[in-house]
Each structure stands twice: as structure tokens, then as C-alpha cells.
Amino acid sequence: MSALLTSAKESLGALADLLLPRTCLACGRRLDVHEKQLCIYCKADLPYTYYWTRPHNPMADRLNECIQRHLSEKTTEAADSAEPYAYAAALFFYKSGSGYREITKALKYHGNTVAGRYFASILAARLYESEQFSDVDLVVPVPLHWTRQWQRGYNQAAVIAKVVADGLKHAEMEPRLLRRGRRTKTQTKLSIDEKSRNVSGAFQVRKQPEFYPRHILLIDDVFTTGATLSECHRALREVYGPEVRISVATLACVGA
């Protein structure tokens, strides 16, 4: 019976591909019935970061540099409080000219939430096996301003966060913990300093979960300079003390 159902599903999949051909997000090659989102060649060459295996990595260092800059702006007493090193990991590298950048673009700009959930499930599996993320108990997506979410119809970070929270088994997702209090410019074409100024003070804690977390994981689609995620970190730190670790995970990371 199981074999018959599998055969029937494959036949329906082949028929659907004939009527509405699916293509590889990275190279545009037509996919066969057994391939999902990427062809076997692009899937084999997906530029994984492997940052989930490295507590200290370039992405995490960039994030922690931003966090330390925020701390230096505080009073001496606040700055002297111990801030744990924030872990950070991304599934793959996002590079200009690479077809793999279409993965996050498909989710963010073209409404391809199926692709978003697919790659989020791969990220979730890597994080679940990672020692530094094993105790995450709260997953929080970077929020969109309500006007932008209304226009888009969804928050791409929340799509990823839901899958990651489910994949971590013992983590709750709270999509309303953070709010974006003002609509910021898109970060795409801004300089490093402009990105930092653009999101400065943009996030606030809105609705706290019923339990006090030990390890919060912030989720976004792409990590670039760390400006947005470090601002979310700063907002959370206003409510949660240094005994709560705050880390970051994204689908993609710009640069090595």
C-alpha cells in the first residue's frame, strides 16, 4: 500500500511538473520530480558556512563588535556589566553574482514561502545538532514595520523562525516580542554607518512570553553588517539581563 501511494505521488508530481515546470532557484535548470528548490548540482555546491559548528566565527565577531559599540555608548556602570558572547550562524554565504542569492530574494520579494520553509528546515536541522544552540528556548523573528508587513502580506523572518522553532523541538516562537516602532529605509543600498543610523532605536520589546527564557535566538533572512540584529539585541537586553544569552541565525550571510 505504501509503495502504491509513493508511486501515485510521484506520478502526480511528474504531471504537475509537466504542466507547471519548476526550476532551480540558483541556476534556472528545470527540476525533476525528486528535486526540491535546487537541482542536484546546485544543492551539492550550496556554499554552507558551517558557522553552527564554530562558536567564534566571522559572522559572530561582526555581531559582537556591533554589540560592544552599543555598550560603549552607555554609562560606565551599564557598560561594565558582563555581556556574554553572542553566537551567530547562517546556512549559506550570500555573494554578489551568485545564483544562491535568489534563495532569499525568492522568499523576501517574490512570496516564495515554500522555498523559505524548505531552507529554514535545513538551517533548523543544523542548529538542532549544534552544541551552542542546543539550549535555545525562545525564537524571535526580526519584525517588519506594520505598514511594510501589510504591503507584503507576511514577514519573511517569521516564516523562517516558525520552522526553526519547530526544528529545535523545545523552543517557543514569539513573533510579537519585538516591534519595529518606525518604518526604516531599506538597508540594501546604505553604507555601514548609514545602516547603523537607519535602525538606531527602531526596535522595542512589546509582548513578553509567559516564561523567562535562558537563550533567545533572533532570526532574520540575511546577515550583512549586523546593524539590524544588534539593534534587536539591544532592545532585548533592556528587558533581559546578561544571564539570558541572545544569539542570531539567518538563512544567508554576506561575505566570509
For 23, the 3-state DSSP assignment is: strand
Q: Which three cell numbers stand for residue 227?
A: 546593524
DSSP element (H, E) containing 139: strand 138-141
**Domains in the chain: how many in total?**
2
Q: 215 and 189: one domain? A: yes
Q: Which three cell numbers stand for residue 14?
A: 511528474
3-state secondary structure 208-220: CCCCCCCEEEEEE
Residue 232 structural domain: 46-254
Q: 57 and 122: one domain? A: yes
Q: 122 and 11: one domain? A: no
Strands 203-205 and 178-180: antiparallel
Q: Which three cell numbers stand for residue 92?
A: 549559506
Q: 160 and 104: one domain? A: yes
Rounded to whole angstroms, the Cα distance separating 182 from 80 reads 30
Kindly give the confidence (pLDDT) of every residue in the chain, 256 residues in length, as a single tens digit, with 9 standing for 90 and above. Answer: 554 444 444 444 444 444 578 999 999 999 999 999 999 999 999 999 999 999 999 999 999 999 998 887 765 545 446 788 999 999 999 988 899 999 999 999 999 999 999 999 999 999 999 999 999 999 999 999 889 889 999 999 999 999 999 999 999 999 999 998 765 545 455 445 544 555 656 799 987 778 899 999 999 999 999 999 999 999 999 999 999 999 999 999 997 5
Question: CATH no. for residue 217?
Answer: 3.40.50
Q: 37 and 134: one domain? A: no
Q: 41 and 73: one domain? A: no
Rounded to whole angstroms, the Cα distance separating 176 from 220 reads 14
Global confidence as pTM: 0.86
Q: 36 and 156: one domain? A: no
Query: Cα–Cα distances in Å, from 200 out to 168, 182, 185, 209?
Result: 30, 10, 12, 24
Q: 62 and 10: one domain? A: no
Q: 34 and 55: one domain? A: no
Rounded to whole angstroms, the Cα distance separating 75 from 122 reads 41
User: Which residues are paired to 173 by β-bridges?
Assistant: 139
For 137, the 3-state DSSP assignment is: coil
Q: 57 and 167: one domain? A: yes
